Amino acid sequence: MKAAVMFQKGELPQYVDFPEPIAQNENEILVSVKAVAIKHFDKRRASGKHYSGETPKQKGRVIGGDGICLLADGTRVYAMGVSGTLAEKAVIAKDTIVTVPDGINNVTAAALPNAVIGAAMALRFKANIQPGDVVLINGATGFTGRIAIQLAKHYGAKKIIATGRNEQSLKDLLALGADEIISVTQNDEQFISEIKQTHAKSSLDVIIDYLWGHTAEMILASLKGNGSFTHKTRYVSVGSVTGDLIQLSAANLRSVDLQLTGSGLGSWSKNQIEEFFTEILPEVFQLVADGKLKVETISVALKDIANLWDLAVPNGQRLVVSI
């Protein structure tokens, strides 16, 4: 079979012939792969830089963690791979299978799951979003941030504020459901002032953060109280695009009713993971199939993987490999 194989950690994957994987137990099944999204998560894990684990040291590893596949009977499904999925064939875990509905193509379906994990799991389980909540999404111009805006609206958010760097991308978010936009390119004083004014007008119930780093420091500082009663804010860290570490004063924590938590691999319960596969992802697939959630992708070919691995994808789109 043809596959995208990484021979040395840190090098570009290569398009080569590779042996088909073999299912090892009753929970594994060999499938034909149709589409696989290339995510930041995949790149970091393949390079050994993601906290969830490094790439195995053996040479010749097929990359890719999930994808849209065909079962032997022709049923189209999403599933997570036991073997690498950027290949013509892959072994998947049966307990991660989600049927893909009619009305959604392979490329779009492949683009969604990772973003739904990054958005819905944070909103539903870590922020406990409620109808009428005011939600701030820090770093909303990326693919996952755009999904988060639309899901927050779907889950009943009264008002959504989005931050980001690219001015045009920020303006595009208004059409997706954002009510206000705030640029992170302005100076610190201006950024903090805007967050404070926003919080004063409509108290922030939920903050979903894909950036962390300095913007997180400024947002948290903006919430700092002065000894009076404060509004409870649920702050959820999902990504760390602009930095893994922040400085946070103890006074900042003590002066405000703040719930600070993270959403990522290892932070969810087994029941929550099961709910993702049985309820959350099927619902989002159907929203897209019904035209109620917008997804933008760029479709590329597996044979071009070496040239595409480090490709910068603009305007909140997702790069998806069709196989």
Which of 247, 262, 277 is the last residue in one of the domains?
A: 262
Locate 100 and state its tokens: 């893909």
Same-domain check for residues 131 and 70: no
What 221-226 contacts at long range (C-beta under 8 Å, 24+ apart), as own/partner pairs, is 221/192, 221/252, 222/192, 222/195, 222/196, 223/199, 223/252, 223/256, 223/258, 224/251, 224/252, 224/255, 224/256, 225/255, 225/256, 226/255
Same-domain check for residues 120 and 230: yes
User: Residue 282: inside a domain, yes or no?
Assistant: no
Same-domain check for residues 82 and 160: no
Domain that holds residue 48: 2-99+295-322
Cβ pair 59, 109 in contact under 8 A: no
Cβ pair 166, 142 in contact under 8 A: no
Same-domain check for residues 121 and 251: yes
Cβ pair 84, 64 in contact under 8 A: yes
Identify the H or E element spanning 161.
Answer: strand 159-164
Which of 241, 262, 283 is the last residue in one of the domains?
A: 262
User: Residue 160: inside a domain, yes or no?
Assistant: yes
Same-domain check for residues 252 and 129: yes
Q: Number of folded domains in the chain? A: 2
Return the pLDDT at 266. Answer: 94
Return the pLDDT at 172. Answer: 95
User: Residue 285: inside a domain, yes or no?
Assistant: no
Q: Characterize the bridge pairing of strands 98-99 and 2-6.
A: unpaired
User: Residue 7: inside a domain, yes or no?
Assistant: yes
Phi-psi bin for 202: left (phi > 0), alpha (psi -120 to 50), beta?
beta
Same-domain check for residues 179 and 94: no
End-to-end CA distance of the chain: 11
Return the pLDDT at 42. Answer: 67
User: Residue 109: inside a domain, yes or no?
Assistant: no
Same-domain check for residues 121 and 243: yes
User: Residue 63: inside a domain, yes or no?
Assistant: yes
Same-domain check for residues 130 and 91: no
Return the pLDDT at 148. Answer: 98
Residue with tokens 């958010």: 157
Digitized pLDDT (tens) for each residue of the chain, 323 residues in all: 999 999 887 788 999 999 999 999 999 999 999 999 998 766 766 655 545 454 544 568 999 999 999 999 999 999 999 999 999 999 999 999 999 999 999 999 999 999 999 999 999 999 999 999 999 999 999 999 999 999 999 999 999 999 999 999 999 999 999 999 999 999 999 999 999 999 999 999 999 999 999 999 999 999 999 889 999 999 999 999 999 999 999 999 999 999 999 999 999 999 999 999 999 999 999 999 999 999 999 999 999 999 988 888 888 999 999 99
Cβ pair 231, 204 in contact under 8 A: yes
Q: Is 245 exposed, middle or buried (0-12, 13-18, 19+ CB in 10 A)?
A: exposed
Q: Which residue type, as a one-letter code, is found at position 130?
A: Q
